[in-house]
């Protein structure tokens, strides 16, 4: 099954829930400040897979939840994610996302940062409305972890001595932590046992790791038209992701010297040579193998959950994370 068909099948059991999530997003975006509406609509309207909200609603239903608050929880998780995108694009000076200009390219960096702040604060307003202290604690911690991850990534930037361990710490903090929080929040809303909440959190963590590993590999192999991201963006920024770290560890002395130079100074002048080195040293294969391992760990975390279409969809979502090409 191709990735697009697989994703459609994953969404099918929660089609109505996802419509409720979309309604919550549109409703909560409303502001009496025109520029806030314009920028928020611009980035939310860009679409995307919305995997984090999908995880929340599937996990809640898999845990036996029968209410409607999971739609609000899923929407606020998406707001936190969107806020990080707005800030990331400013920090990275990115000009393209999902095949079109980034918000900072269209509206300017200052406005993008401020609207990111608006989305963060709106997310916390939505948490208060849910009136679940446990949910607030989980998401407050996750938001703080994400912010610290941004700083950690900044410390790794243009550092060719970044280790695999430091890389994994960044992707956990920046990406996997919000997936983990989404799974745990779903369990809390469902009133599930601590064991189930922990299982859903573990599932989310490993799903997020798998997703980010594949994302970093795609930076060196995907088609720009398919992905909506410029090839080699990470390289241009001097960002040492796993394919580069692996190539640096296993390349020839000449290849290592070139990779170190490109990481330290950024740019795309040597993209073809670097991509060839990553291929010849097995960097993409290695990254894909670790992504598969993470997906398997995500699936294994769900073993204790009762069988349901929602559990099957979560298992399929782990497969999608490592088979997607965009």
Q: What is the DSSP string of 56-90?
A: HHHHHHHTT--SSHHHHHHHHHHHHHHHHHHHHHH
Average pLDDT over residues 281-293: 97
Q: What is the pLDDT of residue 319?
A: 98
Number of domains in the chain: 1
Q: What is the pLDDT of residue 251?
A: 97
pLDDT at 326 over 90: no
pLDDT at 241 over 60: yes
The model carries a pTM of: 0.94
Cα separations (Å) of 307 from 164, 299, 310? 36, 13, 8
Q: Is 100 helix (H, G, I), strand (E, B) or coil?
A: strand
How sure is the predictor about 222, in pLDDT bands with cuts at 50, 70 and 90?
low
Query: Token pair of 32, please?
Result: 């009496």
Rg of the chain (C-alpha set): 19
Q: What angle do CA 171, 173, 176 make, to 5 degrees?
A: 65
What are the DSSP calls for 286-307, one per residue? HHHHHHHHHHHHHHHHTTTSPP
Could you tell me if 205 and 176 are in contact, meaning their C-beta atoms sit under 8 angstroms apart? yes
pLDDT at 227 over 70: no
Distance between CA atoms of 74 and 21, rounded to whole angstroms?
Answer: 6
How sure is the predictor about 1, in pLDDT bands with cuts at 50, 70 and 90?
confident
Could you tell me if 305 and 59 are in contact, meaning their C-beta atoms sit under 8 angstroms apart? no
Distance between CA atoms of 216 and 219, rounded to whole angstroms?
Answer: 5
Say which range, 13-27, 55-69, 210-224, 260-274, has the weakest mean pLDDT: 210-224
**Closest listed residue to residue 84, CA positions, set 110, 124, 38, 119:** 119
H or E element at residue 45: none
H or E element at residue 101: strand 100-101
Q: What is the pLDDT of residue 39?
A: 85
The 10s digit of each residue's pLDDT in 256-278 is 999 999 999 988 899 999 999 99
Q: What's the CATH code of the domain at 30?
A: 1.10.600.10
Say which range, 36-45, 118-127, 241-250, 292-301, has the weakest mean pLDDT: 36-45
Average pLDDT over residues 118-132: 95
Percent of the chain past pLDDT 70, that is, above it, reads 96
Distance between CA atoms of 244 and 255, rounded to whole angstroms?
Answer: 11
**Closest listed residue to residue 214, CA positions, set 295, 148, 271:** 295
pLDDT at 226 over 60: no
Percent of the chain past pLDDT 90, that is, above it, reads 77
In which residue are the tokens 């296993």 written?
A: 250
Could you tell me if 242 and 213 are in contact, meaning their C-beta atoms sit under 8 angstroms apart? yes
Buried b (16+ CB within 10 A) or exposed e, 18-43: bebbbebbeebbeeeeeebeebbebb
Query: Token pair of 274, please?
Result: 């670097």
Average pLDDT over residues 67-96: 91
Could you tell me if 293 and 208 are in contact, meaning their C-beta atoms sit under 8 angstroms apart? no
Q: Look at strands 100-101 and 96-97 and give their pairing.
A: antiparallel
Q: Which domain holds residue 293?
A: 3-323
The 10s digit of each residue's pLDDT in 171-199 is 999 999 999 999 999 999 999 999 999 99
For residue 225, count CB atoms less than 10 angstroms from its CB and return exposed for 0-12, middle for 13-18, buried for 19 or more.
exposed
Q: What is the pLDDT of residue 223?
A: 54
Average pLDDT over residues 149-155: 93
Contacts of 49 (CB under 8 A, 6+ apart): 7
How sure is the predictor about 99, in pLDDT bands with cuts at 50, 70 and 90?
low
């Amino acid at each position: 099954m191709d990735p697009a068909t697989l994703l459609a099948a994953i969404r099918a059991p929660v089609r109505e829930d996802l419509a409720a999530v979309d309604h919550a997003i549109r409703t909560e975006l409303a502001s009496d400040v025109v520029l806030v509406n314009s920028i928020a609509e611009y980035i939310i309207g860009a679409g995307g897979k919305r995997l984090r909200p999908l995880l929340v609603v599937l996990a809640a239903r898999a845990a036996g939840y029968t209410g409607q608050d999971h739609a609000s929880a899923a929407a606020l998780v998406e707001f936190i994610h969107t806020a990080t995108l707005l800030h990331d694009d400013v920090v990275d000076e990115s000009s393209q996302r999902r095949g079109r200009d980034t918000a900072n390219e269209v509206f300017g960096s200052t406005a993008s940062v401020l609207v990111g702040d608006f989305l963060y604060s709106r997310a916390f307003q939505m948490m208060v409305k849910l009136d679940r202290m446990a949910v607030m604690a989980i998401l407050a911690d996750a938001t703080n972890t994400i912010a610290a991850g941004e700083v950690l990534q900044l410390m790794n930037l243009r550092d060719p001595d970044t280790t695999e361990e430091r890389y994994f710490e960044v992707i956990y903090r920046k990406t996997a932590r919000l997936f983990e929080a989404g799974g745990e929040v779903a369990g809390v809303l469902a009133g599930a046992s601590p064991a189930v909440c922990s299982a859903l959190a573990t599932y989310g963590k490993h799903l997020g790791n798998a997703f980010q590993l594949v994302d970093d590999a795609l930076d060196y192999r995907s088609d720009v038209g398919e992905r909506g991201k410029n090839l080699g963006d990470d390289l241009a920024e001097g960002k040492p992701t796993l394919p580069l770290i692996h190539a640096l560890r296993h390349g020839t002395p000449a290849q290592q010297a070139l990779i170190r130079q490109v990481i330290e100074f950024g740019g795309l002048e040597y993209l073809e040579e670097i991509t060839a080195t990553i291929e010849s040293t097995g960097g993409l294969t290695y990254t894909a193998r670790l992504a598969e391992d993470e997906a398997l760990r995500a699936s294994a975390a769900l073993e204790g959950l009762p069988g349901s279409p929602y559990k099957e969809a979560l298992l399929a979502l782990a497969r999608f994370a490592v088979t997607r090409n965009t």
